[in-house]
Amino acid sequence: MLEIGTPFSAAGKKALLLGSGELGKEVTIELQRYGVVVVALDKYAGAPAMHVADKAITVSMLDGDAIRRIVEEERPDYIIPEIEAIATPTLRWTLKRKTCVPSCRATSSARSRISRERVRRGLNLLSRMPRTFRRGLKEARTVSMVS
């Protein structure tokens, strides 16, 4: 069984949330219910999870050195990447030192998959769109009822 301990004590657990959107806010609230201290990071101040987190830090998610310094300073037990635009090499570095949930490998592959899908959709969007031209409103309504 997982033992969390008392917040802000030596036995307490700390989570570092990389990305502090609405989903991060819900995660923060749930972690705090279990007594986990949450440090929320995001690229802009006042992100939703920052309003409820125990500590908030504004930093570029692509600045691997800054994230690494924060990880070393905060010494979290868990790192939770909630944003896809993140310094992936830094996540791999943290894997050796901390628990990354979901795993840093899963986050990295999801980010790559998302990027590839965005490019693919952008390049192929026009070629895949069906094009049909109608002579008037009556013909358009007739065709839409049939299909």
| pLDDT value, residue 48 | 94
Does the pLDDT value for residue 27 go beyond 70?
yes
pLDDT at residue 147 in the model = 46
> The pTM is what?
0.63
88 vs 30: which has the higher pLDDT: 30
What integer pLDDT is reported at residue 61 of this predicted model? 83
Which structural domains are found in the chain, ordered by start?
Answer: 14-127 (3.40.50.20)
Please report how the helices 64-74 and 88-95 are oriented relative to each other, as an axis angle in degrees rounded to 10: 30
Query: Please, where are the H alpha helices in the chain?
Result: 22-33, 64-74, 88-95, 104-128, 137-146
Confidence band for 87, pLDDT divided at 50, 70 and 90:
low
**Which residues on adjacent β-strands are paired with residue 38?**
15
Identify the residue with better confidence: 74 or 2: 74
- Give the mean model confidence (pLDDT) for residues 57-80: 88
